[in-house]
Amino acid sequence: MAGVQLPARPGTKLVLGAVLFCLFLSGAAGLVYEVVWSRYLALFLGHASYAVVAVLMAFMGGLAAGNWWIGRLADRVKRPLAVYGWLELAIGLYAIAFPAYYELCYGLYVSLVRSWAPGPAAGFVLKFCFSLAAILFPTVLMGGTLPMITRLVTKTLGEMQGRVAALYSVNSAGAVLGVVLADFWWIQAMGLSATVLAAASMNLAVGCIGLFLSGWMREGVEVAPEETPAVEQTPDPENCKADDEVYQPGDRLLAVFAIGLSGFVAMLYQVAWTRVLSLALGSSTHAFSIMLITFIAGIAVGAWVVTRARFAKRPFRAFGFAELALAATLGVSMFFYAYLPYWFVRLAGLLSRTEAAYPVYVLCQALICFGVMFIPTLCLGMTLPLVSRVAASAVSEAGSAVGRVFAVNTLGTVLGTCLTGFLFLPKLGLARTFALGVGLNAWIGLAVLTRTNGLRFKISTVPMLIAVAAIVWVAGPLFDRTWQGALTLGMWRPGITPPNRKEFIEIARTSNIRFYRDGAGATVSVHGDRVDGTNLFLKVNGKTDASTFTDMMTQVLSAQVPMALHPDARDVLVVGLGSGVTAGSVLARSRVKSCDVVEISPEVIEGARMFSNYNRAVFQDKRLRMIIDDAKSFLLSTDKKYDVIISEPSNPWMAGVANVFSREFYANCRAHLAPGGLMVQWMQLYEFSDAAFDIFLATFTSEFPSVSLWRTDTADLVLVGTVEPRKHDVDKVVSALAEPEVKADLERLGLSNPVLFLGREVVSSEFGALIPAVGTRQHSDFYPVLEYVAQRDFFLRRTARRFQQLDENFSRRAETLLGHYLATHQLTREDRTAFTRFYLAEERRFVDIMDSFLLRWMQDDPDALEPHEIATRFKRLEASAEHDVLRYASLGQKMYERAKTNPTLLRHYGLSLMRTYMEQRSVFYAPVTDRLSEVLQTLIQVDPDNQRLYQAYLAELAWDRGDDKSCINYGRLALLSDLPRGANKFKLDASAPLLLVTRMADSYRRLGQLKDAADVCDRALQMGYFNERTQYDALLFEVTNRRVIAELAAAAQAGR
């Protein structure tokens, strides 16, 4: 079969089209690498601002070096397309090897920091060196690709500007695709390693195309006359028309300096825009990616404009006007930034909170970002192609000129990033930082347009500098108050949206801001409430992370729960300072020798000093040691062991936060726990689904398989995990609560009473690790599933609730500390008083456990009137079955007589009695069941169609009173003849059969009959009691089944 005959040489359009396609793919791969490598390096360098800057400096520095060095080589090579192909192949091959090379760098870094223990300055240098070692080689090669291709496609100076603009535009468009692929698809679908390999395949494909085209066109072998490069020198000034631009050495020098300063300002804007938009839109990973996409997309369009616009035929002048346009658009837009939160919330408020609407929500974020950044970045995108033309004195220097321009611009971006984050934002604030950029852009534009040299230029510089300083100074009083109030409202969180812009601005301007700092990594503010200003709220990037009102319960219990469980703890680590309340509660323990607190933001430490009245003046305690660092980075750098580690980060949907919910982080914490130590995790339940909760808990228990869950308030949990099962001495725990300083600390919550305190435990360590299903995905640094699931949950406003089905406070056989305490202690008058005071607080005036507690009180003291009076002060969330019981009971013996011919009334009476029993039973109270048992036994005789249900109820009563044999016997009667036909005999209560199976399996387990327990669970699964309809409410069955399987496996292992 004859092969396809190719033309002798490809046409110019074909080559140019292929080159543009290659640059598009190369740009996409480059941004994928930037996203993924930044994540990789952050795993051991940390997310602290200086570590992020170190990574950025290494990445951008490598690009600049490649621009400069390979750009100079480009003018001397005979086969630029082939060289380009080899560059792309080398990048792809390096990327394939990167995961293995990363492990080498990781191990070396950890060994070095632990043996050396560098200080902050040396630590920054070390992190920069390791970043450089990890990504210098590929970034240098990346930096050389554009100059090399420019040399290939540029034959005359006249076409250089258009060609550079086209190449830059297409490469930037590819970069947009790279961000989309990496953050919105590949990382969450494949993980980091596979994402790197996918990008590497793009480079390898591009390299192969380049080498194939080079061979096809016989590059460097022989060149057709019409393709001979025409070396076009700069026009002689004497032979030019009056309006022609002539680029003398001074012009070229000014252009290169200006493009460097322009790059500096561009990154100043990017850093400042990122902060403004994260405050306005929220700080999720997707939000940051959208900002990056918008920034690069504007640059791509700006470069494309250069290829089409007539004014671009005078590049130097066009560059000056582009800078002035940039200054003008930024200056005008600053008057509208305060409205961004309002516009976004109004736009997003039009959406229903459904899965299908989430992409539209992301689009709303993108629209706001485009409105803010698109026109300014379009102006920025025009500058590099224009200056590239000005900087070239001959076509033979096209590669080196482009390389020089891009290198200087890139170095400017590095400097801009560093100074903006570490100097301008902290010292000037957001508004003045923007104003500085506006002034510098105006200065660049005027300097270029005047095109003066020598003394005249120096004189004109002085008023320009004065003008820039004036703009910066005026911006503060003009914008600061409104911006600070508007941007820290956190309106992107669920809440009340002002009805109009006027009211929104009024709220912003009257905000009670006590403290405000724009830091390198975050904006931190402290607010007083609007009522009397007594309650304080600490916000990070607009989200409340600590307060003296709603968060106090969680902040205090995050410390007091583990310290009570481990009263002999000496060394404690707290991850995340917040308001300092948790650290203060830790140090309330006199036995604590040291408390190390790792906080990533220095501004949070400064803001926490405002809470000295609430954090027990923690900063004055000499046992406190503050460490400004990323928690993961700190743990890698120390060998110290801790008795308790408390981690209380923000929500996992916040950018960068999910890293301290990863399996690797928990493994590192485990390595730093002393024998018998406790790992404590604060977990927010709001804006977090049951699926996300399972991912989190599966990850946590992979390192801490014994975990108990403690409810701090309706929105938060505290998890206490251990490596080995740990039996706590209840009396010792209660004694630890009696220490005067501890008692005083808990008293401000109303929780100094031991019964109240122990009642915060809702799931014991016997069940905690069994909540997530076997095979539930775990959140890993290299496969960050939780980060992306949580972002959707935030939009959908989900709440994790399913674990509440295991709340052992409502069980008669609770394995919690409270269950063990009540087995040996009677409730005292002090217990009753504390319970009443606590639950009568306005925000807790619901029946909940208090209804059962009051019944226990009435049982213990039948003549007391107080429990009856207190019961009238509680709200019921739903109607109680007790009213039906009273109504049917009044019928007396007549109901029993009627049941012989028509059991309807007695049936409803029995169902109401059973429902009332299940509402009232708890760890505190066992309702009297004599009448209920009598009614159920009667119904078995008179209502045979539903006798299986009544037998199931009797089995439930038997299990509650600890009679496992009777539970099994009743269960056998209920299920024996019914299993082959499914649940049709339980039509009055569809949930009964699965609960019955659960109780039978647990009774078999308690009697040591594990095989029978497993068999009854398996048969229930086979017969359809556990299905999609019943699955959500069947967590107790799932946990019991997993417990049986785990104990069977342990027994088999022990028998080997």
Q: Tens digits of per-residue pLDDT, 714-729?
A: 889 999 999 999 888 9
211 pLDDT more than 70: yes
Calpha distance 527→488 (Å, rounded): 9
SS3 content of the chain, % helix, strand, coil (to 5): 65, 10, 25
Locate 424 and state its tokens: 């301008």
228 pLDDT more than 70: no
pLDDT of residue 3: 54
Q: Span 319-340, mean pLDDT?
A: 94
Q: What are phi and psi of 964, to 5 degrees?
A: -65, -35
Q: Span 798-809, mean pLDDT?
A: 93
510 pLDDT more than 70: yes
Calpha distance 699→787 (Å, rounded): 13
The per-residue pLDDT for range 454-486, each reduced to its tens digit, is: 444 554 666 777 777 788 888 888 898 999 999
Calpha distance 536→555 (Å, rounded): 14
983 pLDDT more than 70: no
| DSSP strand pairing (761-763 vs 706-713) | antiparallel
pLDDT of residue 499: 83
Q: Would you say how long the chain is, in residues?
A: 1056
Q: Are 164 and 386 in contact (CB under 8 A)?
A: no
Three-state SS string over 744-783 comes to: HHHHCCCCCCHHHHHCCEEECCCCHHHCCCCCCCCCECCE
| DSSP strand pairing (543-547 vs 716-722) | unpaired
Q: Span 150-166, mean pLDDT?
A: 83
pLDDT of residue 234: 43
278 pLDDT more than 80: yes
Q: Span 611-632, mean pLDDT?
A: 95
Which amino acid is residue 533, in one-letter code? G
The per-residue pLDDT for range 1015-1037, each reduced to its tens digit, is: 999 988 887 777 777 777 789 99
Lowest mean pLDDT across 93-97, 607-611, 896-900, 939-943: 896-900
The per-residue pLDDT for range 172-183, each reduced to its tens digit, is: 999 999 999 999
Return the higher-pLDDT residue of 701 and 507.
701
243 pLDDT more than 50: no
The per-residue pLDDT for range 768-788, each reduced to its tens digit, is: 999 998 889 999 999 999 999
367 pLDDT more than 60: yes
Give the DSSP letter of residue 629: S
Residue whose entry in the numeric block shows the structure tokens 């590095």: 414
Residue whose entry in the numeric block shows the structure tokens 């008058």: 829
pLDDT band of 7, cuts 50, 70, 90: low
Greatest alpha-carbon pair distance for the chain in Å reads: 124
Calpha distance 248→240 (Å, rounded): 13
Sequence-distant (6+) residues with CB within 8 A of 260 are 408, 409, 411, 412
Calpha distance 922→768 (Å, rounded): 19
Q: What is the mean pLDDT of the chain?
A: 88
Q: What are phi and psi of 575, to 5 degrees?
A: -100, 110
Residue whose entry in the numeric block shows the structure tokens 């609407």: 357
Return the higher-pLDDT residue of 186 and 53.
186
Q: Are 445 and 320 in contact (CB under 8 A)?
A: yes
pLDDT band of 232, cuts 50, 70, 90: very low
pLDDT of residue 309: 77
Q: Are 559 and 642 in contact (CB under 8 A)?
A: no
- Using the Cα atoms of residue 978, residue 983, residue 985 and residue 988 in order, give the sign of their dihedral: positive
Of the candidates 278, 188, 286, which has an alpha carbon nearest to the alpha carbon of residue 653? 286
Summary count for the chain: helices (H), strands (E): 39, 12
Q: Which of 128-132, 224-228, 1036-1040 has the highest mean pLDDT?
A: 1036-1040
Q: Span 911-938, mean pLDDT?
A: 94
Return the higher-pLDDT residue of 171 and 242.
171
Q: Span 929-954, mean pLDDT?
A: 94
Task: Please give the domain boundaries of the chain with CATH numbers for all domains.
Answer: 9-219 (1.20.1250), 246-464 (1.20.1250.20), 543-818 (3.40.50.150), 943-1056 (1.25.40.10)
The β-bridge partners of 719 are: 681, 709
pLDDT of residue 406: 92
Q: Span 373-381, mean pLDDT?
A: 95
pLDDT of residue 744: 94
Calpha distance 637→339 (Å, rounded): 44
939 pLDDT more than 70: yes
Lowest mean pLDDT across 265-279, 807-821, 848-862: 848-862
pLDDT band of 54, cuts 50, 70, 90: confident
Lowest mean pLDDT across 326-335, 440-449, 865-874: 865-874
Q: What percent of the chain is predicted at pLDDT more than 70?
A: 93
pLDDT of residue 533: 65
Calpha distance 67→400 (Å, rounded): 8
Of the candidates 472, 425, 467, which has an alpha carbon nearest to the alpha carbon of residue 444? 467
Calpha distance 773→448 (Å, rounded): 66
pLDDT of residue 221: 66
Calpha distance 160→153 (Å, rounded): 8
Of the candidates 578, 274, 302, which has an alpha carbon nearest to the alpha carbon of residue 430? 274
Which residue stretches of 154-191 are H helix? 157-181, 187-190
| Cα radius of gyration rounded to whole Å, the chain | 35
Return the higher-pLDDT residue of 529 and 955.
955
The per-residue pLDDT for range 658-701, each reduced to its tens digit, is: 999 999 999 999 999 999 999 999 999 999 999 999 999 999 99
Calpha distance 244→242 (Å, rounded): 6
pLDDT band of 875, cuts 50, 70, 90: low
The per-residue pLDDT for range 541-563, each reduced to its tens digit, is: 999 999 998 899 999 999 999 99
pLDDT of residue 444: 92
Sequence-distant (6+) residues with CB within 8 A of 449 are 317, 320, 321, 324
Long-range Cβ pairs for the range 724-732 (8 Å, 24+): 724/676, 725/765, 726/565, 726/676, 726/765, 728/565, 728/817, 730/758, 730/817, 730/820, 730/821, 730/824, 732/567
pLDDT of residue 180: 95
